[in-house]
Amino acid sequence: MPFSPSSKAPVSLLRAPLIALGILALAALALAPLAALGAQSVSNGPAPAVTADTLPVPVVDGEVSDLLLKGKQLEVRYRNTGSVATMIVGELQVRDANDEVVLAVPFADARRVEAGRAEKFRLAMPHLAPGHYTLFAVVDFGGETMTAAQAALEIRP
């Protein structure tokens, strides 16, 4: 039987349930986003309190990483290994074989060093009599302790 727009074909018993199932599936898909939106939860409670226990603790720390002789100059390298900027005071101490301080030369006086940054300080090599010495580059960075580097030095006649 040829199809024409005016012809009325009877709906078979198998087609009717398939059409109904398709309509039901489309309705389920249309409602799924609404169900998902309803499943989301939002807390209207108070925000968590910020206390001293939850704040990061600032760390004040530093190190003298090197004490080098470069020609007639000494170079001191300091690095702020803490988490906050600090003011430092640095001094070069020259000690003799008896561990007596024979000379002290400041190389940093209230110098601000940012967290994670390194600084180089240069100072002229002090004039010393022949003998055995120990050089100490001592830095007070404001922590509970100080940091230092040392180097042995021999001045020959």
What lies within 8 Å, CB to CB, of 20 at 6+ separation is none
- Rounded distance between C-alpha atoms, residue 17 and residue 24, angstroms: 10
Q: Please report the pLDDT score of residue 12 as a whole number.
A: 44
- Rounded distance between C-alpha atoms, residue 63 and residue 113, angstroms: 12
The predicted-structure confidence for 115-146, as pLDDT tens digits, reads as follows 999 999 999 999 999 999 999 999 999 999 99
pLDDT at 114 over 70: yes
Instruction: Give me the helices (H) in the chain, please.
Output: 15-39
Pairing of strands 131-140, 118-124: unpaired
CB atoms within 10 A of CB 64: 21
The predicted-structure confidence for 83-107, as pLDDT tens digits, reads as follows 999 999 999 999 999 999 999 999 9
Going from N- to C-terminal start, the domains of the chain cover 62-155
Kindly indicate whether the domain formed by 62-155 is annotated with CATH number 2.60.40.10: yes
Provide the CB-side half-sphere exposure for 74 (13 A, CA). 23
